[in-house]
Structure 1
């Protein structure tokens, strides 16, 4: 890619960052502002599309996760209480990366690890944005699930997460995702299906059920 193309990308990226920050400032005051939510979504969507022209995979992953969160919020009902301004941290991260890219021509060395953590944080928020209702410990679990006895009487939000068998190939880290749940105070990990013989073990298939308690 030419220097001129990178310079143009950085200029336009800064414009999208400003748009996202402006929209989030409005949403901080008026959480249900659909116009601001749409503008914020467009900013992330446009910036994500532009990163595809360059070798900026960590940034593209983070922007895609943020876009998914905003997409869920746009589809969700009015009673969803996700604090969309949690995306301020995402904007700050991407802005720092753009500054580094402008100075050095590359993302920082730790970008891949930072992207994994940020995507896990956003995905932990996303189920609420899509209208999912977590089970409240002590108020009745969803059908077919018995809250682990270790969680009984402790109060808080009980969560059960069954990753897809191909979650690793989808780029997900189920343990990191659960670890990113706010207020995490207890975790139980068990197999989805009974473990078979060691010779039959498939290290590329996720066979976990993760249950957790969040305050």
Structure 2
């Protein structure tokens, strides 16, 4: 796929295509300001990382991956019982294949979203996968903050503000996960419920093995 940049933020081109426009419209309609602006920052931070490191990536696929990555935290989709990452991944793949994107390309977007809370592994995968995680890690965890030129960071945050972001994103994680605590086992989101959900008991991998029905 090719996309002609219509605009830039902080020197980072934003895809201008029918596909990108439809993705933007859909996500703007079903997410609040918190998730929308976060998702756009994830694209911008991820794309900047890719450009800075000379990676060959498809901006449209990265854009869709970034925009859909937290869809599972929204009111429309967070009622499922699967991992919230899969909610967004499944919707993104359906969105792309419905518009004629080949399955192998849509699969890259699915993987980028599904794995964005799994440390390290995405960085060894295709750039469209790795860069979603890079964008999330910078915006949420601050990983790479000091490597980003201040003028780039300021331009991105001016276009997509993050007022009280730390508290609000943690609240969104809590609300999106409290009804499906089993899905946090083995991933970083267990920390959210351990901090904010009264009565939550973190599953213990060793105890699960020891309590399994096997006799030895």
Between Structure 1 and Structure 2, the one with more helix by share is 2
Larger radius of gyration: 1
TM-score by length of 2: 0.28
Specify which structure has the bigger relative contact order, considering alpha-carbon pairs within 8 angstroms and separated by 6 or more residues: 2
Instruction: Give the strand-richer structure, 1 or 2.
Output: 1
